[in-house]
Structure 1
Amino acid sequence: MTTKEIVQQVIDAFDNNDVEKILSFFADDVKWTMKGSSVTFMNGKNEVEQFLGGMEDVKMVSSTKEHIIVEGNTVAVDGLVQCKDKNGKDMAMYYADIYELENDKVKKVTSYIVDKKE
């Protein structure tokens, strides 16, 4: 698989709330930084799994991919994600994710998240 195909598989897994599939593409020592109204830093597959496990009540409604830009082993993706929380409340966020791969595994993710204002 190409770098772009690997990241597209990861994105599809996120769209389908498939934590096991997401983790299968991540390196054991993955580092994931989420930047937005606060900063969340995850170090290692176990921390990512705990974080994603805590998101089980959030259901993906739709997501767009405005751009998928590949440069070597780095892929940048941006768009809009719409979800519902456990109370059925709608949430919408613009995102930009930068994936860095090493040996066909996601080694580093940097996510920028901005709540969509009505």
Structure 2
Amino acid sequence: MSRSARPLRLADMSANKELVNTYLDGFRTNDHAKILSCLADDIRWTVFGHFFLTGKDAYDAAIDGPDFVGPPRLDVVRMVEEGDTVMAELSGWAPQKDGDPVRMSMAEVFVIRDGKIAERRAWVIPLAENDFR
């Protein structure tokens, strides 16, 4: 297997990618303290088509969302980094109140400042039929 095809190991990750992975682990376990520890106090969170908020208190209140019934499954498809920005392509699903999980594809941009996520920009696409629709 070539180096480029080898899965990324934790030892191969930059500090910014490790930060994003720690943040995602917080979401996977619904660990608010872990999530918030990764954020700048003036965090800006945009989920395009849904909401924009700023500040840790607003972020904390929005972590679970209105239909939260359990943490999501989030799988990193790929992660790329340029300067202070990490882009993650994710796939996953989240449990819903009606019992049927919603599957989704996500693109997330994390802007990092002084070792904390200062901005998160997300595009979340629900998938009902297959891996692309």
Structure 1 residues 9 and 56 mapped into 2: Cα distance closer, same or farther (>3 Å)? Answer: farther
Correspondence for 1:64 among 71, 75, 78: 75
After the TM superposition, list the runs of 4 or more consecutive aligned residues in structure 1 that deviate by more than 3 angstroms. Answer: 53-56
Match for residue 18 of structure 1 among 31, 47, 67: 31
RMSD between aligned alpha carbons? Answer: 1.7
Contact kept? 1:96, 1:111, Cα under 8 Å: yes
- The amino acid of 2:15's aligned partner reads T
Is contact 2:27-2:72 (8 Å) kept?
no
Give the residue type in structure 2 aligned to 1:33: T
Structure 2: give runs of 5+ residues left out of the alignment.
Answer: 1-13
Looking at structure 2, the residues matched to 3 and 63 of structure 1 have their Cα atoms a distance apart, in angstroms, of: 18
Alignment of 1:1-118 (within 5 A): 2-35=15-48, 38-54=49-65, 57-60=68-71, 62-118=73-129
The share of aligned pairs that are identical, in percent, is: 27
List gaps (5 residues or longer) in structure 1. Answer: none
**Distance change >3 Å, CA 30–CA 116, structure 1 → 2:** same
Q: Aligned partners of 2:92 and 2:83: how far apart in 1? A: 26
Between Structure 1 and Structure 2, how many residues are aligned?
Answer: 116
| Higher strand fraction (1 or 2) | 1
- Give the alignment's TM-score, normalised by structure 1: 0.88
**1:80 aligned partner, one-letter code:** S
Deviation digits for residues 93-117 of structure 1, max 9, x if unmatched? 1101100010101100000011112
| CA distance in structure 1 between the aligned counterparts of 2:67 and 2:50, rounded to whole angstroms | 20
